[in-house]
Amino acid sequence: MAWLHPGAAAQIQVTGDDAVNAQEPPALEVRGITKRFPGVLANDHIDLTLRRGEIHALLGENGAGKTTLMNIIYGLYRPDEGEIYVHGRRAEIHSPNDAIRLGIGMVHQHFMLVPTLTVTENIILGHEVTRGVLLDHRRARARIQKLSRQYGLLVDPDAYVQDISVGHQQRVEIIKALYRQAEILILDEPTAVLTPQEAEDLFAVMRSLASQGKSIIFITHKLKEVLAVADRISVLRAGRLVGTTTPAEADEASLAAMMVGREVVLSVAKAPAHPGEEVLRVENLRVLDDRGLPAVNGISLSVRAGEIVGIAGVQGNGQTELVEALTGLRRPETGRILVTGQDVTGKPPRLITETGTAHVPEDRQRNGMVAAYTVADNLVLNTYYKPPFARGLVRDEHQVAAFARRLVKAFDIRTPDIYAQAHTLSGGNQQKMIVAREFSRPISLLIASQPTRGIDVGAIEFIHQQIVGLRDQGVAVLLVSAELDEIMALSDRIAVMYRGELIAEMPAAEATREQLGLLMAGVRHEEEFVHKMGTTVPVEAEDG
Amino acid sequence: MPTLRFHRVHVYAMLFVVTGAWLVVGISPRFPPDETTVLAFGVGRTAPKMALPVGRTLLAVGAYYVAAGLLGLAGRRFARLATGTMILGGLLIFPTVLVAAAAGKQTNVLTMLNESLRLGTPIALGAIAGIWCERSGVINIAIEGMMLAGACFGFTTFFFLGERLPTNQALFISVLVAVVTGGLMALLHGVLSITFRTDQIVSGTVINILAIGVTSFVRREYLLSTRAGRVTLPSIEIPFLSELPVVGSVLFNNKPIFYSMFILVALTHVILFYTRWGLRTRAVGEHPRAADTVGIDVIRVRYMNVFISGLIAGLGGAWFSLETVGGFDDLMTNGKGFIALAAMIFGKWTPLGGLGGAMLFGFSEALGTRFQILGIPLPSQFLQIVPYVVTMIVLAGLVGRAIPPAAIGQPYEKQS
């Protein structure tokens, strides 16, 4: 067990014992599962036991092999070695059909729902109820409503999936599994898209399912949730099972250490901010979304040099459009945007970049890089036309290569070569590449949108330190994130965005998780006040 | 200050206002007030007739155009109403032009309708073929080629069987061969685009080119020697229904492929929206991975749908050589397979909408022929352009944006 962190070793018991201790055969047991992909050992002899009626959390960084293991159990991948036992019996799972027949249901991280079909149609798809040759919607709807009542999963059977909220879609996914008489439920990162309150509701549903005898595998990388809801916790790292523990025996620090394999600084060390002059000023900004509907509804805000302003909010409340307007990617309807006093409203992105604005986009693969370009080319993506990288019309390859080598080293980008194509890098390293490009030129404003989405704990730690480092050098930082922990760890001031408006703004020191969670759900209270542009304005209560 | 934005609907609305004003001020006064067009509903003396004063008809239509256009410019609140009014106005252009063209003469409306339906038949079959294929996520621009191959091999079969078997029996077998030929061409499309994940447009183009080459070779090599006397499928009168006034002669005294087209439209509608297969087809075309995770065999569903698509396209081919002409000419499908795709998009990938689109194109083609009969002083080539101009206007957006199945054109690759 040499790979274990010494402090974590004491808390680990070997999984093999569990099967012996249990009275009845476990709901699911995997033994020695191994899966190789070209160049990667995704799963390395993994043993795991899921008891009946338990919530078993599977914790691990991106690329640790969690999803691979689950796809093997669900029949989407074939293992190279190893055995699977369901209710004590050896199972051969060749396809999702086999898994469904064995009572295994999976809620995928990216929902597997067809947007143009109704809730009922999505649930019955593949297991249709028919009368003669025609679909029997009435009987299907009755069965769905029965499941809905039994487990407290509220769904509208006749709504189209494209019209319902993400939380609603998730309930549809769970019912979809239960409809197929799943006894074992695999939930892959189910809370990634939920508000803290929605996540609480989900945990209640999970507990209700477990108490009615369902066994749940809960995949996540959020340590708090694991401790809150799991009966047991197994940690994967680099394709291997590091160990299994319980919430009583573990805490966030020990779990993080198990995941990463070394001590991780979870809280970002940062000195108090010393805000200077105003760098970004936004006045009454209105922006439309792709469908022509208002997405940003009269936002005013200000970010000063040397401070981090965090914008919290559930995804889809206009953050994307706000950032696009600030970076010149989307034309605002009304309002003004000033960067260091210069009006950049509706100006082209290159001009905004040249005024000293850095942008870490939320969808790194679409807007942050060119996947088919080399790491070196991606690193000069917004400076290639300037000296020293360009000499007149010709690029200076030596300068580009030297620059790229320097950044790869400084930002610890794990790539075989600076000429490797960007899409061959892992998510965390792609993000480090983008961060390296944006942070390594003289900037006065950083707009970072979901800067650590979907990347591993080690890379998160690194990027957080870089952001705080920039702040201390006097850069104004606007941080947009759906991760409340990230907002709270980094920000000096926090604003909450809800339905295109900033409904509250407060110093980070005064913010609590509960309060922010409520605000993210749009709940405002009379006793709470909004601090806007330095003035205090009472806000009327909102019912419902 | 709110920025003024021009949307496509505004451009159309202005087009309507201008056209309407032109009809009212420029065209309608040219006709003497007593000049009429007689519309006859049937043949012979007893057929009901209607006399329309040409000038006033044009005046009314022009006024309607202006009103529809103004409604379109009036703002978002009337958007839905305005779109409907303008689509109706767009359709109104056909009878209006007919009335104007036939000024002072008599023209048979029923013949017009009958011709539209007849000429719309291969287009509707092509559209249905396209729907089967594309709803499962496979683009099919090869309908033209499948039709052409069906037309050729269907007729070739009749060419060799016609002397040896009773005519009707030979015709029936020939139609079956046409259908199967379309299916085989479709399987080739399936192998290329589903199994080998070739770009579906490229695969479709390959099939179109292949069909042109093979069919003209077959014609030159085997079909030139003798003439087979231009035999076509017999008309079938449906008892009782064909006696009905007006619709009887239009709908129920026709040829077998014409009838099959209506049956296939209805059948496709029911299968697509009310059965297990249809639900799975739509899921596979929208989100194949979701379908895969609930145990649906995406590859199998796509193969079946592409194959069925080919069978229907082959039947559409038989319409040309066996139901209409009684012979095979090079390129005899004449782009109808592509117009069928336009009809499918016009109908937003629904069978009933596709039928409507096909009838629109059929009508515009019938109108082109009718103009020639009425002796409009224009070169016939201009009149034959009509259906294609209508295709362009329709696709340019009169019906609004049609959203194709989400996974269309993307080969499905199972992870392993």
Closest Cα in chain A, distance from residue B76 (Å):
12
Is there a single domain that holds both residue B212 and residue B318?
yes
Do A337 and A482 fall into the same domain? Answer: yes
Please check whether residue B216 lies inside any domain of the structure: yes
Q: Which of B79, B104, B129 is the last residue of a domain?
A: B104
Residue A171 and residue A190 in one domain:
no
- The residue among B109, B86, B119, B23 whose CA lies nearest residue B364 is B119
**Residue A42 or B175, more confident:** B175
Asked if residue A543 has pLDDT above 60, the reply is: no
Nearest to B295 among A97, A115, A130 (CB): A97
Task: Judge if A229 and A371 occupy the same domain.
Answer: no
Rounded to the nearest integer, the mean pLDDT of chain B is 86
Give me the percent of chain A exceeding a pLDDT of 90.
54
**Domain end point (choices B324, B355, B386):** B355
Does residue B91 sit in the same domain as residue B136?
Answer: no
Tell whether A46 is covered by a domain. yes
B403 is a domain residue: no
Q: Please tell me whether residues B24 and B132 are part of one structural domain.
A: no
* Least CB–CB distance from A128: residue in B279, B291, B415: B279
User: Is residue A480 within 8 Å of residue A319, measured between CB atoms?
Assistant: yes
Reference A125, options B138, B277, B301; nearest CA is B277
Residue pLDDT, tens place only, B203-247: 999 999 999 999 999 999 888 755 556 788 888 888 887 777 667
Instruction: Give me the residue from B275, B291, B406 closest to A133, CB to CB.
Output: B275
In a domain, B404, yes or no: no
The alpha carbon of residue B234 is apart from the nearest alpha carbon of chain A, in Å, by 34
Cα-only R_g, chain A: 25
Cβ contact B141:B404 at 8 Å: no
Lowest mean pLDDT among A227-231, A270-274, B312-316: A270-274
pLDDT digits (tens, 9 = 90+) for A350-368: 999 999 999 999 888 888 9
What is the per-residue pLDDT for A65?
A: 84
* Residues 6+ positions from B14 with CB-CB distance below 8 Å: B69, B73
Look up residue A394 and give its two tokens: 């010709």
Is B144 among the domain residues?
Answer: yes
In a domain, A1, yes or no: no
Burial B343-354 (b: 16+ CB within 10 A, else e): bbbbbbbbbebb
Q: B253-254 and B236-237: which strand pairing?
A: antiparallel
B91 and B183 part of one domain: no
Most B CBs within 10 Å: which of A78, A101, A116, A287, as the mutation test of the B interface? A116
Chain A contacts of B301, Cβ < 8 Å? none
The residue among A223, A241, A260 that closes a domain is A260
- pLDDT greater than 60 at residue A66: yes
Co-location of B36 and B177 in the same domain:
no
| Same domain, yes or no: A381 and A464 | no
Task: Please judge whether B275 and A135 are an interchain contact, meaning their C-beta atoms are less than 8 angstroms apart.
Answer: yes
| Residues A99 and A197 occupy one common structural domain | yes
Q: Span B142-160, mean pLDDT? A: 95
Please report the pLDDT score of residue B4 as a whole number. 44
Please name the residue of chain A whose CA is at the shortest distance from the CA of residue B280: A125
Write the CATH number for B124. 1.10.3470
Task: Flag whether A541 is in a domain.
Answer: yes
- Domain finish residue from B70, B104, B138: B104
Is there a single domain that holds both residue A98 and residue A231? yes
Per residue in B97-149, pLDDT (tens digit) is 778 877 778 888 888 888 889 999 999 999 999 999 999 999 999 999 999 99
Q: Do both A481 and A539 map to the same domain?
A: yes
pLDDT at B399: 57
A126 CB neighbours in chain B (<8 A) are: 280, 291, 294-296
Question: Using the beta-carbon criterion (under 8 Å), do B292 and A96 form an inter-chain contact?
Answer: yes
Question: Has residue A538 been placed in a domain?
Answer: yes
CATH number for A22: 3.40.50.300
- Regarding whether B136 and B97 lie in a shared domain, the answer is no
- Concatenating the DSSP letter of every residue in A167-183 gives HHHHHHHHHHHHHTT-S
**Contact A135/B282, CB-based, under 8 Å?**
no
Classify residue A49 as left (phi > 0), alpha (psi -120 to 50) or beta. Answer: beta
Residue by residue, DSSP assigns B166-231 as -HHHHHHHHHHHHHHHHHHHHHHHHIIIIIS---HHHHHHHHHHHHHHHHHHHIIIIISSS-----
CB A461 within 8 A of CB A452: no
| Count of domains observed in chain A | 4
Contact residues on chain A for B274, CB-CB shorter than 8 A: 134-135
User: B178 CA to chain A: closest CA distance, Å?
Assistant: 29
Residue B4: closest C-alpha in chain A = A333
**What does the pLDDT average to over A133-159?**
92
Which one is predicted more confidently, B26 or A176?
A176
Given A76, A114, A128, which is nearest B276 (Cβ)? A128
Q: Are residues A20 and A91 in the same domain?
A: yes
With CB atoms and an 8 Å threshold, state whether B276 touches A114.
Answer: no
B158 within domain boundaries: yes
Q: Which residue has the higher pLDDT, B186 or A461?
A: B186
Are B117 and B59 contained in the same domain? no
- Work out the burial of residue B221: count CB atoms within 10 Å of its CB; fewer than 13 is exposed, 13-18 middle, 19 or more buried: exposed
Indicate if B152 and B60 belong to the same structural domain. no
Which of A78, A121, A122 is facing B416, going by the closest CB pair?
A78
Give the per-residue pLDDT at A529. Answer: 41
Give residue A491's pLDDT: 94
Record: contact A125-B291, CB cut-off 8 A: yes
pLDDT over 70 (residue B65): yes
Mean pLDDT of all residues in A67-73: 90
Task: Encode pLDDT of A299-341 as tens digits.
Answer: 999 999 999 999 998 877 899 999 999 999 999 999 999 999 9
**B284: closest chain A residue by CA:** A114
In whole angstroms, give the CA distance from residue B411 to residue B416: 16
d(CA A54, CA A184): 10
| A414-442 pLDDT per residue, tens | 888 899 898 888 777 888 999 999 999 89
Residue B365, pLDDT above cutoff 60: yes
Closest residue by Cα to residue B52 from B28, B36, B41, B35: B36
**Domain check: are A447 and A437 in the same one?**
no
Is the residue at B217 inside a domain? yes
pLDDT (0 to 100) of residue B192 = 95
Estimate the crossing angle of helix A196-211 against helix A137-151, to 10 degrees: 100
Do A277 and A374 share a domain, yes or no? no
Same domain for A525 and A432: no
pLDDT in tens, A388-411: 899 888 989 999 999 999 999 998
pTM of the model: 0.76
Contacts of B276 in chain A (CB under 8 A): 128, 130, 133, 135
Report how many domains make up chain B.
Answer: 2
Predicted confidence at residue B2, as pLDDT, reads: 40
Categorize the per-residue pLDDT at A4 as very low, low, confident or very high, splitting at 50, 70 and 90.
very low
Per-residue pLDDT for B62 more than 70?
yes
Does any domain span residue B398? no
pLDDT for A530 equals 42
Residue A374 lies in a domain: yes
Mutate to test the interface with A, among B272, B275, B284, B287 (most CBs of A within 10 A): B287
Note down the domain range covering A387. Answer: 365-441
Q: Quick: pLDDT tens for A119-134.
A: 999 999 998 988 988 9
Q: How far is A36 from chain B (nearest CA, A)?
A: 11
pLDDT band at A13 (very low <50, low <70, confident <90, very high): very low
**B209 lies in the same domain as B134:** yes
Nearest-Cα distance to chain A for B277, in Å, is 9
For chain B, the 3-state helix, strand and coil shares in percent, each to the nearest 5, are: 70, 5, 25
Question: Quick one: B87 and B169 in the same domain?
Answer: no
User: What's the confidence (pLDDT) of residue A246?
Assistant: 93
CA distance A27 to chain B (A): 21
Query: Chain B residue with minimal CA distance to A116?
Result: B286
* A236 is a domain residue: yes
Helix (H, G, I), strand (E, B) or coil at B261: helix
Distance from CA of A434 to the nearest CA of B (A): 29
Q: Do A125 and B290 touch (CB under 8 A)?
A: yes
Higher pLDDT, A360 or A21: A360
Residue B294 to residue A77, Cβ atoms within 8 A: no
pLDDT > 90: percent of chain B: 45
Chain B neighbors of A128, CB-CB under 8 A: 276, 279
Kindly state whether residues B173 and B96 are assigned to the same domain: no
Contact B249, B331 (CB under 8 A): no
- Within an 8 Å CB–CB cutoff, is residue B226 touching chain A? no
Model confidence at A5: pLDDT above 70? no
Beta strands A215-220 and A232-237 are unpaired
pLDDT bracket for residue B28 (50, 70, 90): confident
Q: Are residues A208 and A96 in the same domain?
A: yes
The DSSP secondary structure of A12-68, one letter per residue, reads -B-THHHHHH-SSPPSEEEEEEEEEETTEEEEEEEEEEE-TT-EEEEEE-TTSSHHH
Inter-chain residue contact A113 with B274, CB threshold 8 Å: no
Which pLDDT score, from 0 to 100, does residue A237 have? 87
Residue A324 lies in a domain: yes
**Residue A317: phi, psi to the nearest 5?**
-100, 20
Cross-chain residue pair B406–A115, CB shorter than 8 Å: yes
Q: Mean pLDDT for chain A?
A: 86
CA distance B285 to B131: 11
Residue A84 lies in a domain: yes
Q: Is residue B260 in some structural domain?
A: yes
Query: Tell me, what's the pLDDT at A200?
Result: 87
**Shortest Cα–Cα distance, B293 to chain A (Å):** 6
Q: What integer pLDDT is reported at residue A540 of this predicted model?
A: 40
Size of interface A-B (CB pairs under 8 A): 75
**Taking CB atoms and an 8 Å cutoff, what residues of chain A touch B134?**
none
Q: Which of these three, A411, A441, A471, is where a domain ends?
A: A441
Structural domain boundaries, residue B256: 111-355
From A194, A229, A260, give the residue that closes a domain: A260
The structure tokens listed for B377 are 């002083």
pLDDT of residue A7: 40
A→B contacts (Cβ < 8 Å), by residue, are 71, 74, 76-78, 95-97, 100, 106, 108, 111-117, 121-122, 124-128, 130, 133-135, 176, 180, 333
Q: Do B283 and A128 touch (CB under 8 A)?
A: no
Mean pLDDT value across residues B320-348: 91
Q: How confident is the model at residue B200 (pLDDT cuts 50, 70, 90)?
A: very high
- What pLDDT score was predicted for residue A533? 35
B247 and B153: one domain? Answer: yes
